[in-house]
Amino acid sequence: MDGVDKTNTDADNTAATVTGAEAILKVLAEEGVEVIFGYPGGAVLPIYDALFKSNTIRHILVRHEQAAVHAAEGYARSTGKTGVVLVTSGPGATNAVTGLTDALMDSIPLLCLTGQVPTHLIGNDAFQEADTTGITRPCTKHNYLVKSADTLCSSLREAFHVASTGRPGPVVVDLPKDVQMADVTVEEKDVAKVTARYQPQTEPDRAAVRKAAEMIAAAKQPVIYGGGGIINSGPAASDKLRELVALTGFPTTLTLMGLGALPSSDKHFLGMLGMHGTYEANLTMYHCDVMLNIGARFDDRVTGRTNAFSPNSAKIHVDIDPSSVNKNITVDLPIIGDAGRVIELLIEELKAIKFKPDADAMAAWWGKIQSWKSIDCLRFDQSGDIIKPQYAIHRLWEKTQGMDAFVSTEVGQHQMWAAQYFGFEEPNRWMTSGGLGTMGYGLPAAMGVQIGNPDKLVIDIAGEASFMMNMQEMSTLAQYNLPVKMFIINNEWMGMVRQWQELIHGGRYSESYSESLPDFLKLADSFGMKGLRADTVDDLDGIIDEMVAHDGPVLADIRVAKEENCFPMIPSGAAHNEMLLGPEDKAAAPVSEEGMVLV
Amino acid sequence: MTIIEERHTISVLVDNEPGVLARVIGLFSGRGYNIESLTVSEIDNISKLSRISIVTRGTPMVIEQIKAQLARIVPVHTVRDLTSAGAHIERELALIKIVNSGEDRIEALRIASTFRARTLDSTLESFVFEITGSSSKVQAFVDLMSSLGEVEVSRTGVSAISRGAVADMPIRT
């Protein structure tokens, strides 16, 4: 066989020689991998053969490679472990690209193994050849093309290290078929060597933390703005955040990625901030004098117009990634380090200076915040028979209280409503595509969550249009009897597109109607699943109960009001203090020309 | 508000491995940063390290971003902004072919001598000169040559190093 490395025949070598494919599985097992999401093909057949012979790692067969990556993301986000994907060369790898980009934007630790044509064919436009490392370079944290069996194990081990430490992200290891079949000696793992090249700073500069404590102690109108970095740091960071909030009594808002870091029931929690965040969260950000950003990146969905973003505050930015600092917003005090560790040290420093919140100032500040809260920006009018989408999600939340539900979403209006109306008490319970905004994310992500948390209630809050982008995964749910609940907010529109067309493009609903939808009940039936439909408000509670009680996968088609818009909303190009609270606001604040070009 | 762009020369020490240059260039193109000049060569064949010298232009915020983004790349060991770090030397080498005759030919040779350019190749109607110096000196030479005949130019781009007794980016460590 061409290209097979037969040089490793040293008689003195006592370590067992295995094939490259076996070595890959060995390294995965050594890294604690229990499950792989994948799809076979010609260039990864040796690995599938090794999987067939081994029983250490479980393989979940998806129906499309994009779904394999999202499933691994859901698994990673709900368990804190690194998700692992296995796909073939060419189309297998290119199909994975959306998922990889999604994981990069949301900082999700993933290892994606891609097959590649044998080394001697690389560059020849061979069958199912793609320049995978070239294609995935901008959408991975790092990637490898393993050209020789000698570097197979070291590349895989470094890949795990890079994916899971620092700011986590996806790493691709491209594996030519001849390398998978070569003889490999699996050396003992040398941690120092594996970690030598990539050593992110997790321990913050103590002086900077002290300075932050002083700024916090002097604050009259503070806000804590927490993000996905707290979730990524691990559950201990969320515990520390709770401690910090209790110690300071500071109002706290969370980004879409950070939901669950502080319980939604906490009296200091202002709700999510940003484009569809609460009125009180955004105005607190606008009027604060000290902002403590922990593990968030001043994303454009959060800041609105940057030159009007929180104009009078001193900003402290805690981030593990130095490139996030001063990227969108110039800050006064950057602190590079792990979110959990920084909060821990900050609490120490605050205690050391005998910090006591300024009671008068805080009372005045909370008084202002209460006045903003009293606007009740998330109110909606559930009257008549037709289900309001907000009501459907709110009831789903109320009826699943105490069940420790894990929720994924697709992308669009339902996603924002889920963020607004479904409360999270714990981290790692909320899986949504934040940065990339990938329609079709929720169903495969929910699959991964269910695999990682077999006994938990897992719900994909979906829109009918997004759902159809990866609905082939119903087959995967059926195969493994994964009891995922597909809660489809069906308004027969690409709702967010329709909303923007209404607000910005004169109500010209170009191509945003969900034409020719399937009969979702028959669709569920065809996969041997339970299908339910709620047509009126009276149906809703019963449908939710039946869905939750059923011990297999359920598709619930929730027919909702078709033209409901997602409010509050900061229109593109507007500032936090220029929110639209409801449909009656839109005439007063037309979107600016600069805003029109923003996404 | 006028946006003030600064020119910065950044030295980057990287593992000399496949794809590393693509990572650096892809970062610049993907994020819309400018590259005025880029040179790269292996400088340490034991540790397999290459040094990339990049001349770029941007607002102070963008320059900070460029450095932070470069430092994030796994095979990147060190990123140094020579422009902010203090005194440093920038040089480039250029090969200039000029095709002409008569008085212009004599003038080309005279100017080359003033610029301390070396003559590497000569025919009866052409010269190839080698010149090293700052980019502006090289440019001045090219401009002068261009007025004296048909000119072909090959420039290396800027290579740079800090002044003084400290080896900021030592090899073989």
What would the pLDDT profile of B96-150 be if each residue is shown by its tens digit?
A: 999 999 999 999 999 999 999 999 999 999 999 999 999 999 999 999 999 999 9
Percent of chain A with pLDDT over 70: 97
Length of chain A: 599
Query: Are A137 and B22 a contacting pair at CB < 8 A?
Result: yes
Summarize pLDDT for A144-188 with one digit per residue, the tens.
Answer: 999 999 999 999 999 999 999 999 999 999 999 999 999 999 999
Is residue A6 scored above 50 in pLDDT? Answer: no
| pLDDT at residue A13, as a whole number | 45
Q: How far away is chain A from the Cα of B76, in angstroms, using its nearest Cα? A: 9
The span from the CA of A260 to the CA of A404, in Å, is: 12
Q: How far away is chain A from the Cα of B71, in angstroms, using its nearest Cα? A: 8
Q: How confident is the model at residue A510 (pLDDT cuts 50, 70, 90)?
A: very high
Helix axes A339-352, A235-248, angle to 10 degrees: 30
- Other beta carbons within 10 angstroms of residue A518's beta carbon come to 13
Beta bridge partners of B130: B95, B118
Q: Does A137 touch chain B (CB under 8 A)?
A: yes
Helical residues (DSSP H) of B81-152, grouped into ranges: 82-85, 102-114, 135-146
Q: How confident is the model at residue A585 (pLDDT cuts 50, 70, 90)?
A: confident
| pLDDT at residue A191, as a whole number | 96
Measured in whole angstroms, the distance separating CA B13 from the mean position of its chain's CA atoms is 15
Q: What is residue A513's three-state secondary structure?
A: strand
Summarize pLDDT for A44-86 with one digit per residue, the tens.
Answer: 999 999 999 998 999 999 999 999 999 999 999 999 999 999 9
Query: What token pair was written down for A464?
Result: 């009918």
| pLDDT at residue A487, as a whole number | 98
Helix (H) or strand (E) holding A537: helix A537-549
User: If you average pLDDT over each of A451-455, A595-599, B82-86, which comes out highest?
Assistant: A451-455
Q: Does A171 touch chain B (CB under 8 A)?
A: no
Nearest CA in chain B to A325: B65
The span from the CA of A36 to the CA of A58, in Å, is: 6
Mean pLDDT over each residue of chain A, to the nearest integer? 95
Length of chain B: 173
Closest partner residue to A330 (CB to CB) among B18, B23, B61 is B61
The C-alpha R_g of chain A, in whole angstroms, comes to 25
Q: What is residue A443's three-state secondary structure?
A: helix
When scoring B17, B74, B78 by the number of chain A Cβ atoms within 10 A, the one with the most, hence best to mutate, is B74
Chain A hits for B62, CB-CB cut-off 8 Å, are none
Torsion of CA A524, A529, A530, A535, to 10 degrees: -10
Q: How confident is the model at residue A593 (pLDDT cuts 50, 70, 90)?
A: confident
Q: What is residue A87's three-state secondary structure?
A: strand
Q: How far away is chain A from the Cα of B72, in angstroms, using its nearest Cα? A: 8
Percent of chain B with pLDDT over 90: 94
Is residue A322 scored above 90 in pLDDT? Answer: yes
| pLDDT at residue A75, as a whole number | 98
The span from the CA of B60 to the CA of A110, in Å, is: 34
Q: Catalytic annotation on A473?
A: no
Question: Choosing from A26, A81, A141, A177, which is the catalytic residue?
Answer: A177
Contacts of A546 (CB under 8 A, 6+ apart): A532, A554
Chain B hits for A197, CB-CB cut-off 8 Å, are 15, 74-75
In chain B, DSSP finds a helix count (H) and a strand count (E) of 5, 9
Q: Transcribe A179-215 into DSSP letters.
A: HHHSEEE-PPP-HHHHHSS-----SPPHHHHHHHHHH
Q: What is residue A412's three-state secondary structure?
A: coil
Query: Are A133 and B68 a contacting pair at CB < 8 A?
Result: no
Summarize pLDDT for A529-565 with one digit per residue, the tens.
Answer: 999 999 999 999 999 999 999 999 999 999 999 999 9
Summarize pLDDT for B23-62 with one digit per residue, the tens.
Answer: 999 999 999 999 999 999 999 999 999 999 999 999 999 9
Chain A hits for B71, CB-CB cut-off 8 Å, are 322-323
Classify residue B154 by its DSSP letter. E
Measured in whole angstroms, the distance separating CA B2 from the mean position of its chain's CA atoms is 28
Closest partner residue to B26 (CB to CB) among A138, A197, A323 is A138
Query: What token pair was written down for A398?
Result: 């109320």
Classify residue A128 by its DSSP letter. T
Closest partner residue to B74 (CB to CB) among A133, A134, A162 is A162
Query: What token pair was written down for A599?
Result: 């996404």
Is residue A284 scored above 70 in pLDDT? Answer: yes
Q: How confident is the model at residue A598 (pLDDT cuts 50, 70, 90)?
A: confident
Chain A hits for B58, CB-CB cut-off 8 Å, are none
When scoring A327, A328, A336 by the number of chain B Cβ atoms within 10 A, the one with the most, hence best to mutate, is A327
Residue B168 near residue B162, CB atoms below 8 Å: yes
Q: How confident is the model at residue B173 (pLDDT cuts 50, 70, 90)?
A: low
Average pLDDT over residues B71-77: 97
Closest partner residue to B18 (CB to CB) among A145, A326, A330 is A145
Strand order in the sheet with A333-336: A269-272, A252-254, A222-226, A290-294, A314-319, A333-336
Q: How confident is the model at residue A586 (pLDDT cuts 50, 70, 90)?
A: low
Is residue A2 scored above 70 in pLDDT? Answer: no
Summarize pLDDT for A12-54 with one digit per residue, the tens.
Answer: 445 679 999 999 999 999 999 999 999 999 999 999 999 999 9
The span from the CA of A492 to the CA of B113, in Å, is: 79
| pLDDT at residue A4, as a whole number | 46
Task: Tell how strand B37-44 and strand B88-99 pair up.
Answer: unpaired
How far, CA to CA in Å, does B71 sit from each of A279, B51, B52?
38, 14, 13
Chain A hits for B30, CB-CB cut-off 8 Å, are 138
SS3 annotation, A292-351: EEECCCCCHHHHCCHHHCCCCCEEEEEECCHHHCCCCCCCCEEEECCHHHHHHHHHHHHH
Nearest CA in chain B to A321: B72
Is residue A3 scored above 50 in pLDDT? Answer: no
Question: Choosing from A30, A128, A211, A562, which is the catalytic residue?
Answer: A128
Is residue A9 scored above 70 in pLDDT? Answer: no
| pLDDT at residue A306, as a whole number | 93
Q: How confident is the model at residue A589 (pLDDT cuts 50, 70, 90)?
A: low
| pLDDT at residue A478, as a whole number | 98
| pLDDT at residue A588, as a whole number | 54
Q: Catalytic annotation on A65?
A: yes
Q: Does B88 touch chain A (CB under 8 A)?
A: no
* Structure-model confidence comparison of residues A489 and B172, the more confident one: A489
Q: Which of A477-486, A580-589, B18-27 has the lowest mean pLDDT?
A: A580-589
Q: Does A321 touch chain B (CB under 8 A)?
A: yes
Q: How confident is the model at residue A8 (pLDDT cuts 50, 70, 90)?
A: very low
Nearest CA in chain B to A331: B61
| pLDDT at residue A243, as a whole number | 98
Q: Does A145 touch chain B (CB under 8 A)?
A: yes
Is residue A1 scored above 80 in pLDDT? Answer: no
| pLDDT at residue A280, as a whole number | 97
The span from the CA of A218 to the CA of A556, in Å, is: 51
Burial (0-12, 13-18, 19+ Cβ within 10 Å), A356: exposed
Q: Does A138 touch chain B (CB under 8 A)?
A: yes
Summarize pLDDT for A407-422 with one digit per residue, the tens.
Answer: 999 999 999 999 999 9
Query: Are B74 and A323 a contacting pair at CB < 8 A?
Result: no
Helical residues (DSSP H) of chain B, grouped into ranges: 20-30, 60-72, 82-85, 102-114, 135-146
Q: Catalytic annotation on A593?
A: no
Summarize pLDDT for A188-226 with one digit per residue, the tens.
Answer: 999 999 999 999 999 999 999 999 999 999 999 999 999
Query: Are B72 and A321 a contacting pair at CB < 8 A?
Result: yes
Average pLDDT over residues A447-471: 98
